Amino acid sequence: MVARAVDTVSRGTWMSERLDVRKTYKLVVNGAFIRSESGRSYEVVDASGAFLANVAWGSRKDVRDAVAAARAAQTKWWSTSAYNRGQVLYRLAEMAESRRDEFAALVAASEGRSSADARTIVDVAIDRVVWYAGWTDKVAQVFGGANPVAGPFFNFSLPTPSGVVGVVAPASSSLAALVDQVLAPLATGNAVVALASHERPTPALLLGELTVTADFPPGLLNVLTGTRDELAPVLCSHEDVDGVDLSGVDDEDVAPLALRCAESIKRVVRTGFNGEADSLRRLRGFLETTTVWHTVGQ
């Protein structure tokens, strides 16, 4: 019986009856793929309205868990040498390059683009990861420096990361904008909790999945999915979040979220997505400056 069944499959008799194996995308929290603690999920459709995937619908507790994971990871990440942080980010680019076709397929389906346009977007996104990887050991030289003082002292201004950064991705862009928002704080030593586009979350989730095997400390990049109205206020008002990138939020929705950030005196960054100039502002946006004095030795 088994032999006849295998022979039937080998001749393709069952191929027309085969069901698609649909992927259910989970949250990426603390280096693991988890379902929302609420048990909820929702259907994501492509640009034509056809079913694309099931995606976990994150909750307030998922946000809190992601922030706790990010706080634990950030200490380890910042204690790693700048050179090694660059190597880890470059490893992410290598892995994204090996999954280039998958990224392009998801971007094309999510945004209704042609295959050629989607590949261009993915190529630019991967190139941006490499660009940020190259910045990790240059941040101190560009944003820090030695200061002239009167007396037998050295005085240095040293850039240090803000800590845990929340990111609210734009609804209209599934990958390109998110890469800038996420990689800039990672390159400067921060940990990130990212809220992906509700309508187009799959490329962001794939990016998060790659970090699990790209030598990232667990919790360094957490990717949440769900409705912005439910999750963004929780992220902005969380007292253990040190800064929030609201570049993906529409003008009319910024003020309420910025007010929530102000309750615990967070840094708020909001800039465009126009290449290197905006990226430099983002790199500076989640850096603090520490001043160090030291006596001049003999």
Token pair of 231, please?
């999750």
Residues 20-65: tens digit of each pLDDT? 777 889 999 999 999 999 999 999 999 899 999 999 999 999 999 9
* Rounded-to-integer distance, Cα 260 and Cα 282, Å: 21
Report the candidate in 112, 69, 95, 77 with the shortest Cα–Cα distance to residue 219: 69
Domain-located, residue 113 = yes
- Total domains present in the chain: 1
The confidence score (pLDDT) of residue 5 equals 46
Domain extent for 233? 21-295
| pLDDT tops 60 at residue 232 | yes
Contacts of 206 (CB under 8 A, 6+ apart): 99, 102, 103, 106
Domain-located, residue 1 = no
Domain-located, residue 6 = no
Give pTM, 2 decimals: 0.89
Q: What is the DSSP letter of 186?
A: H
User: Which residue type, as a one-letter code, is found at position 298?
Assistant: Q
* Rounded-to-integer distance, Cα 126 and Cα 90, Å: 10
Domain-located, residue 77 = yes
CATH of residue 271? 3.40.605.10
Sheet (strand 24-25) strand order: 24-25, 51-56, 41-45
| pLDDT tops 60 at residue 298 | no
Q: Is 111 exposed, middle or buried (0-12, 13-18, 19+ CB in 10 A)?
A: buried
The DSSP H or E segment spanning 237 is: helix 228-237
Band (7; pLDDT cuts 50, 70, 90): low
Domain-located, residue 95 = yes
90 vs 14 pLDDT, higher one = 90
Band (73; pLDDT cuts 50, 70, 90): very high
Band (208; pLDDT cuts 50, 70, 90): very high
The confidence score (pLDDT) of residue 12 equals 54
Residues 134-156: tens digit of each pLDDT? 999 999 888 887 777 877 878 77
Report the candidate in 92, 88, 118 with the shortest Cα–Cα distance to residue 103: 118
Residues 76-89: tens digit of each pLDDT? 999 999 999 999 99
Domain-located, residue 244 = yes
The confidence score (pLDDT) of residue 219 equals 97
* Rounded-to-integer distance, Cα 203 and Cα 207, Å: 6
Domain-located, residue 9 = no
* Rounded-to-integer distance, Cα 125 and Cα 178, Å: 9
Rounded to the nearest angstrom, the gap between the alpha carbon of residue 253 and the centroid of all alpha carbons in its chain is: 21
Domain-located, residue 15 = no
